Structure 1
């Protein structure tokens, strides 16, 4: 069985919910359709000529996540994917409109509302949008050093906390194995946050029941994701 590594998972909410997996070593991606619970036929497929003009940056992608509806500036933007990547030595962010499949902008992260993440850029594994938080647009940002960030561009407050003695405390023992993490809010009344590990394993965080795993990534758990 192929071991998947050096990939980034990003959630998508426009139309049927899905998760995109970007495989940086091969410059390919797979679309995992959450409603069908499997990878789209003929995937993985080449990144080239997809993703508007962001395609040339996928090999340098670090992490990404989704925002929806009214943003922190009270503007209804619909569904947006934020791709964070390097261009040379510069940390960048691409704002991507899901409904039109077009890039809105590509800017140095320092010139955007995400500039506060710059000191942590290389340590970020993935981002969970906590839609049940008291402050709107609150994001839990998982780091690979035994800590996590809670940040809201609405309040402009950023705090760093240790994983130890937190809702994510069980993740601490896996900090050196984390590859990427992604949110799934497709199940009715459920929200899952998946943390993918080395050796074809993953953890599943359920806001209500905590962390489960490690679980093997295989044809039962993620049909079509691993190509033999």
Structure 2
């Protein structure tokens, strides 16, 4: 192992742990809240089972605003809200708040797009068989769109890793913050390059895993 990595191994492992925490919370938020939000967006669209123009317009506007907000400015903008629910605006726990919010908006849009790819005949067939809204969602829509949902989550996770590098602004830590503070700012280019390499390995592993899983569950 290179000497520079041995020298900072404690800090490196800590930064990796911080990244895992931030990205992990983002994934949970995306799945637990982004998935139902994206499903609601789909169902409330014109011509869908729960068509509601007002609901769709409001949800669509909120998702668009969050997604179009420059992430660094979103982090700063949410500081009062973060302090309200976490008790502080500094640290890894505080960093998870803006990450969770962008995760929900990001994945919900990908969920909506995946569900829109499901052939309309599938939904019509389900309804004709007397399926409830719940059955249509879980037994037909999610089953048909499962590959796209996995690929969308994979894309989202990679984006979350990228967003996490900005969280040094609020003391969130992570690999990106470590690379900037110890590598770039202290002119230790070699250390910075190793951190970039670590992030690249993580991204490639996630992409490979997501693509493989999506291919295995795609029965079309």
Report TM bin, short chain: under 0.3
More strand as a share of residues: 1
More contact order relative to length (CA 8 Å, sep ≥ 6): 2
TM-score (norm 2): 0.27
More helix as a share of residues: 2
TM-score (norm 1): 0.27
